[in-house]
Structure 1
Amino acid sequence: MMRIGELSRRTGVSHRSLRYYEEQGLLVSERTPRGHRLYPPAAVDRVIRIQELYAAGLCSGKIYHLLPCMRDSDGGPAVTATPWLVNELIAERHRIEQTIRDLERSRDVLDEVIDTAAGR
C-alpha cells in the first residue's frame, strides 16, 4: 500500500487530481485510522489509464463507465477489451473525428471572412 504522495510521485499526477479521481469514483483508497489515504500497487496502472483516457478527450463520466470494462491481463497487453468497450471507444473516436471536421469547417469560414475583411 502507498500513500497519496507516493502515488503522485510514481504517476506524475497531482494530489489534487488523485483526490478528484476518488470523488468521481475512478479511484479507490483505504483510510488509515488517522484518515490518510492508502492505495494498492495496482493504483499506479489505474491512474495511468485514467490519464490516457483524459488525454484521448474523454470526460470523467465516460471514463467512469469504461474503467470497469478495462482489466489487466497477466503477461499480456495492459488492457483486455470487452466488445462493449471497443464499441464505446470507436464511438468516441467518431465523435472526435466529427469535432475535427466541424472545427476545420469553422476555420475555413473564418479564413473567408478574414480574406474578405483584408480585401483579398
Structure 2
Amino acid sequence: MRIGELAQATGVSARSLRYYEEQGLIRSTRTPGGWRDFDATMIERVVMIQHLLAAGLCSTTIGELLPCLEAPPEERTGVMEMLLAQEVQRLEAARRDIDRELEVLQALRQDVSQTPTT
C-alpha cells in the first residue's frame, strides 16, 4: 500500500509516517517508479507506535522496544520489561516534580491572596 493508504488506514499523517520511516520505526520497499510500498503489517505497527508515543515514549525508545514486542514470548530477552520499567520510573519522577511545583505555586497563591493590599 502507498503512504496515503497507510495514512488513511491508521489516521496518521503521511508526514509522520515519513518521519517514522526515517527513524527506522517502519519500513517500506520502493516501486520501480520510486513510490513507497508498505506491507499491510505496517498498519498494526503504526498503531503500536501511536500508543507508545501517547504513553510518553520517545522515538529512540520505541525503536528499541518494537523488535521486543514483535518477538515471540520465548525469544524475548527481558529488554522490553527493563525499558518499560525505566519509562515508568521517568514518568513517576516527572509527576513528583510537577506535584512539587504545584504545591509551591499553590502556597504562593495563598500567600498572595492573604497579603493585605494598601
TM-score by length of 2: 0.89
Distance between the aligned counterparts of 1:60 and 1:17, measured in 2? Answer: 12
- CA shift for structure 1 position 81: 5.6
Among candidates 84, 101, 105, match of residue 79 of structure 2: 84
1:65 aligns to 2:64 (yes or no)? yes
> What is aligned with 1:28?
27
Equivalences, count: 114
Q: Which has the larger radius of gyration?
A: 2
Alpha-carbon spacing, 1:36–1:68, altered in 2? closer, same or farther (3 Å): same
Task: State percent identity of aligned pairs.
Answer: 47
Uncovered stretches (5+) of structure 2, i.e. residues with no partner: none
SS at match of 2:37: strand
1:18 aligns to 2:17 (yes or no)? yes
- CA shift for structure 1 position 83: 1.3
Name segments (4+ residues, structure 1) moved above 6 Å.
none
Distance between the aligned counterparts of 1:72 and 1:41, measured in 2? Answer: 18
Distance between the aligned counterparts of 2:71 and 2:76, measured in 1? Answer: 10
How large is the RMSD of aligned CA atoms in angstroms? Answer: 1.8
> What is aligned with 2:97?
102
Equivalent residue letter for 1:112:
A
- CA shift for structure 1 position 42: 0.6
Deviations 1:24-53 (A, max 9, x none): 111111111221110001100110111111
Q: Which has the higher helix share?
A: 2
TM-score by length of 1: 0.87
Uncovered stretches (5+) of structure 1, i.e. residues with no partner: none
Alpha-carbon spacing, 1:37–1:49, altered in 2? closer, same or farther (3 Å): same
> What is aligned with 2:6?
7
